[in-house]
Chains A and B, each alone.
Chain A
């Protein structure tokens, strides 16, 4: 069931391919500043020209002066930051995946927003001032939207613990919510520093084992979370870069101390979910297998990742208490 061709997915990359049909350019929108009617009443030519220049400048710099009033998020990870930071009424819709409890820590909040399927048509109809999306997914949609004149801000899908405070602050700046973002980012950094200050030997081995037997290796969010919580990531030590298939036989051979598997699969089964629950893993006598991190907490780089770090840190202290300093 785990095939080589199977696209390796992170929550960050989960979107539907866009359909690009039947798109026409949006009609020009009135962006002239209010009060421009006065410009032509008996003024001198120079003044008129100057006013036109001013108006032109106003046209070239839309929205930056004041926060965007209508923001639309197309990616489950930008959804998290946008829902956490946006002012009431500012966020007009989030991606449909934002309601999936396995991918979206803020899935309850997402019920309050309309959802989009990440299609260019959705955006076109909603006419947002700002579109938030991921760099990896919906690439065609992003290009199309930019060509149609929408302001699109992309967030990198390569996320680690280091990128999270940066992304929070950037989202705050984009939404005009710098204060809230700064507080959130500082909280995150402080919480993380507290956990990292408590690191000690020995460091047990852990493997984040996803659907279809895909392991999360070097450069992934999970890798940095495991390291921060005081584990060694088996996948990284075995040379896995990013997300890659990790043969079941190797898991058994290397006997990691813990295997972190996806939590419940809800009411929509898939065959890939059987691989991390294979009887061969359960037969390992000393290996602990479980979800261990709160549901959906580390699928996206957002403030909820701290919950995953804390949960794993507590687990590490339980299974491998710190050696006393000599």
Chain B
């Protein structure tokens, strides 16, 4: 498939699901009513529902899905590891722990900006730890095991902080941090997360040429004039910014970054750099679809969107593990 055609097709798919996300919700708004509400403004119920509730949710689904898909693609390319993904290698879990530690301790009052601040720090720590491990020992197994350890540790610490909070409601928010949700977000969350995620996309995009060269091995890449330290910095910072910001506002949403690159890769030239944009668009489409589905399955209460992505992603992960045992990746 031509790259342009692929990107266009995925962009259209993501757009269609974005519109579907705008159309789904407990308030039954007709099509014309919702379109008018979206563009008219004012104090009408339809307008408030569209602009203050559904639009932020759809925008976050788009942005977070894009981030997770792209982060999965760049990590798989850079680490040359088919199982690499922000959720599995513990970046999301560490980001969630960072956000929880800063927010619930009340250090910043009840300010929302405490969430991304903590999440970025947590994600950064995770990526640095993993890179240090992967640089010394490049095996698939080391990275995944380190990720498992990091995820469990971060999950346990998250639970600990939430249980220590004097606010009796806090301990029940662990489900949000472990399984993610886009429910009841506001435009404030969009302003908080989207610029950071966009910065992450930019940094990852700047590393594109380098990860292509790296698919030939580090020495070959260095001989091609690739600055390894710079590449590593771009990817570490890009993934930490993107995944940190995404997790800060939506909790841990797993497996999007794992599934999408694998689904899209056969349609590309298999150059890691050519995968970044399609994986991002595919990730956006997948997360938006999952978020529409959780609203349709349980309209009032709503499922956590991370439940759905795990239901899709975990069997896929197992299948990858089985396949990886059969062939050398």
Residues on A facing B (Cβ under 8 Å): 1-7, 9, 14, 97, 100, 103, 211-213, 244-245, 247-250, 252-253, 255, 265-275, 278-280, 283-286
Contacts and interface: CB of A to CB of B under 8 A. Distances in A.
Majority secondary structure, A binding face: loop
B176 A250 contact: no
B304 to A, nearest CB: 6
Contact of B304 (A3, A248, A269, A271): A3
Nearest to B109: A269
Majority secondary structure, B binding face: loop
Contact of A4 (B43, B49, B187, B303): B303
Contacts of A250: 26-27
Contact of B167 (A2, A266, A284, A285): A266
B184 A4 contact: no
Nearest to B250: A1
Contacts of A3: 175-176, 179, 181, 183, 301-302, 304
Given A3-B176, A250-B27, A278 B52 contact: yes
Interface of B: 25-27, 43, 45, 48-49, 52-54, 103-104, 106, 109-110, 112, 165-170, 172-173, 175-176, 179, 181, 183-184, 186-188, 298, 300-304
Minimum-distance CB pairs A-B, first 9: A4-B301, A268-B167, A280-B52, A269-B110, A249-B27, A247-B26, A285-B43, A268-B166, A253-B27
Pick from A244, A269, A272 the residue with the most CB of B within 10 Å.
A269
Contacts of A211: 169
Contact of B302 (A4, A266, A269, A279): A4
Contacts of B301: 3-4, 245
Given A3-B175, A280-B186, A284-B43, A9 B168 contact: yes
Contacts of A273: 110, 169
Pick from B103, B104, B170, B188 the residue with the most CB of A within 10 Å.
B170
Contacts of B184: 1-2, 213, 248, 274-275, 278
A6 B173 CA distance: 8
B163 to A, nearest CB: 9
B172 A252 contact: no
Contacts of A285: 43
Pick from A1, A5, A14 the residue with the most CB of B within 10 Å.
A1
Contacts of B187: 279
A279 B188 contact: yes
Contacts of B170: 268, 270
A281 B251 CA distance: 23
A279 B300 CA distance: 20
A3 B251 CA distance: 12
Contacts of B304: 3, 5
Pick from B110, B175, B179 the residue with the most CB of A within 10 Å.
B110
A103 B181 CA distance: 28
Given A249-B53, A283-B43, A1 B181 contact: yes
